[in-house]
A and B are shown apart, each in its own frame.
Chain A
Amino acid sequence: DIQMTQSPSTLSASVGDRVTITCRASQSIASWLAWYQQKPGKAPRLLIYKASSLQSGVPLRFSGSGSGTEFTLTISSLQPDDFATYYCQQYTGYSTFGQGTKVEIK
């Protein structure tokens, strides 16, 4: 199966910061990658699909890039509502997820 590795595991940032999270696949997944945001006690929320397509209703400060084995999720200006855990997911046959990146208040 394809392993997804996110870095960092935890990220401390302030409101207004530009934040970047990386996700690496153990083999090429083309652009078959999604990003999710999860808050405590809630289900994951889809942010990005096909590596760079913004899901309807998601703020424009979120963006995704990459292809092959390396991908990034960027939050251009961190807002109070963005403190959460973020996951990547590859979907090339059967899905696997990264271990998560927790964005916490600095």
Chain B
Amino acid sequence: QVQLQESGPGLVKPSETLSLTCTVSGDSISSYYWSWIRQSPGRGLEWIGYVYYSGTTNYNPSLKSRVTMSVDTSKNQFSLILTSVTAVDTAVYYCAAGAPGGSCSVCDNWFDPWGQGTLVTVSS
């Protein structure tokens, strides 16, 4: 069964770049569209975007200008980069499996499973 594990710095300075990686085990990176979701007390659960191993991406319009997602097939990992962070970006960041791999007209989906989450704090 698929298992996901987030990794990356827990503290990022304002105006700098947040970078997280999710390692997939138990299945191929080509099996799903992979999403990043974050959760904070002020904004609740917020979908950030998804990436497919082919390079296809779809981002939340509210974050699109600051987000880049990519896949490293050799490591069975996918990554999130969020630039120009502020305190509002402080949250628990989750990676999750979404739509099954393959062609889809609308690749949005329920999420299962999720990683355990990693807290990222934006502070100087």
What size tier do the contact residues of chain B reach? 20 to 34
Given contacts A1-B61, A43-B117, contact A97 B110 (CB under 8 A): no
B110 touches A49 (CB 8 A): yes
Within 8 A of A (CB), among B82-113: 94, 96, 106, 108-113
State the Cβ distance, B64 to closest chain A Cβ, in Å. Answer: 10
Q: Does B81 contact A (CB under 8 A)?
A: no
How far is A93 from B58 in the complex, measured between Cα atoms in Å? 9
Pairwise interchain contact A44-B114, C-beta atoms closer than 8 A: yes
Kindly report which residue of chain A lies nearest to residue B4, judged by CB atoms: A43
Pick the contact of A94 from B45, B108, B110 — CB < 8 Å? B108
Contacts of A44 in B (CB 8 A): 45, 94, 111, 114
Given known contacts A32-B108, A100-B44, what 11 new A-B pairs fall within 8 Å (CB)? A1-B61, A1-B62, A43-B94, A43-B96, A43-B113, A44-B111, A49-B112, A87-B45, A94-B47, A94-B60, A95-B37
B22 CB → nearest A CB, Å: 12
Q: How far does the alpha carbon of A50 sit from the alpha carbon of B99 in the complex, in Å?
A: 13
**Which residue in chain B gives the minimum CB-CB distance to A48?**
B110
Closest to B106 in A: A93
Asked if A34 CB lies within 8 Å of chain B CBs, one says: yes
* Cα–Cα, bound, A96→B108 (Å): 10
Contact with B along A33-52 (1 / 0, CB 8 A): 01000000011111001100
Residues of B within 8 A of A96 (CB): 47
Q: How far is the CA of A34 from the CA of B98 in the complex (A)?
A: 12
Contacts of A89 in B (CB 8 A): 45, 110-111
Q: List 18 A-B contacts (CB under 8 A).
A: A1-B61, A42-B116, A43-B113, A43-B116, A43-B117, A46-B110, A46-B111, A46-B112, A92-B108, A94-B47, A94-B58, A94-B108, A95-B35, A95-B111, A97-B45, A97-B46, A98-B44, A99-B44
